[in-house]
Amino acid sequence: DIQMTQSPASLSASVGDRVTITCRASQSISSFLNWYQQKPGKAPKLLIYAASSFQSGVSSRFSGSGSGTDFTLTISSLQPEDFATYYCQQSYSVPYTFGQGTKLEIK
Amino acid sequence: QVQLVQSGTEVRKPGASVKVSCKASGYTFTDYYIHWVRQAPGQGLEWMGWINPNSGGTNYAQKFQGRVTMARDTSISTAFLELSRLTSDDTAVYYCARGNIVVVSTVLGFEYWGQGTLVTVSS
């Protein structure tokens, strides 16, 4: 199975900050990398697919980059509604594993 | 609008089985894969497998092989997840999610999700 490792596990930031979350795959997954946002008690929400493609309706504050084994999710200017947990997921091969999550908290 | 509506909370004893349903609306059910993902309390997301609603074909994560069955009833646009020989480790919220269109093999993330079904396994 492909292991997905996110860093950091948690992050404290302020409204207006620029933040970056990293996801590393245990082997090359080309660009088959997706990012989700999850708020407590809610289903995950797809933000970015194929490493850098914007999901319709998602704020342009969110952007993704990377290929191969190293990927990043950047939030350009944090808004109050962005405080949540973020997950990466590889969709290169089954099982479609997720990272362990990054909890973004208000400083 | 696309919606996936799941069945309600379940409580089971260890060793029992549970069956969760996921009713799709707003699109042609047989055109898109359905995936199942679970989340234990306070934990991350775990992919369990997919079903092709058109063919009925399935692909299960090795971890669940022999214990999981994914099925569908196209007449009611509903997918089902059945998990047997439950233990306390199976206590989780189970989500269905719509995957890619079945004629395309590339998986580009799960855009639509059900609301989740809490399954509690306790003696």
3-state SS string for B60-112 = ECHHHCCCEEEEEEHHHCEEEEEECCCCHHHCEEEEEEEEEECCCCCCCCCCE
Residues 6+ apart with CB under 8 A from A87: A6, A35, A36, A38, A44, A98, A99, A101, A102, B44, B45
Question: Any idea which residue has 């993704």 for tokens?
Answer: A64
In Å, how far is A52's CA from the nearest CA of chain B?
A: 11
Determine which of A96, A97, A100 to mutate to test the interface with B (most B C-beta atoms within 10 Å): A96
Chain A residues in contact with chain B using a Cβ-Cβ cutoff of 8 Å = 1, 32, 34, 36, 38, 43-46, 48-50, 53, 55, 87, 89, 91, 94-101
In Å, how far is A95's CA from the nearest CA of chain B?
A: 5
- What is the mean pLDDT, run by run of 10 residues, along chain A of 107 residues? 97 96 97 97 97 94 97 96 96 96 94
pLDDT value at position B27?
97
How many angstroms separate the CA atoms of B54 and A65, rounded? 34
Chain B positions touching A91 (Cβ under 8 A) are 106-109
How many angstroms separate the CA atoms of A56 and B59, rounded? 28
Whether the per-residue pLDDT at B105 is higher than 90: the answer is no
Question: Residue B23, Cα to own-chain centre: how many angstroms?
Answer: 11
The one-letter amino acid code at A21 reads I
**Residue of B112, B118, B19 lying closest to B71 (CA atoms):** B19
Above pLDDT 90, what percent of chain B? 93
Q: Which of B44, B59, B109 sits opposite A94 (nearest CB)?
A: B59
pLDDT bucket at B89, cuts 50 / 70 / 90:
very high
Whether the per-residue pLDDT at B102 is higher than 90: the answer is no
Q: What is the 3-state secondary structure (H, E, C) of B43-56?
A: CCEEEEEEECCCCC
Whether the per-residue pLDDT at B108 is higher than 90: the answer is no
Determine which of B46, B47, B60, B68 to mutate to test the interface with A (most A C-beta atoms within 10 Å): B47
pLDDT value at position B79?
98
Q: What is the pLDDT of residues B39-64, one digit of tens each?
A: 999 999 999 999 999 999 999 999 99
The dihedral of CA B2, B97, A22, A51: what is its sign? negative
CB-count exposure of residue A16 (10 Å: 0-12, 13-18, 19+): exposed
pLDDT value at position B22?
98
Q: What is the pLDDT of residues B29-38, one digit of tens each?
A: 999 999 999 9
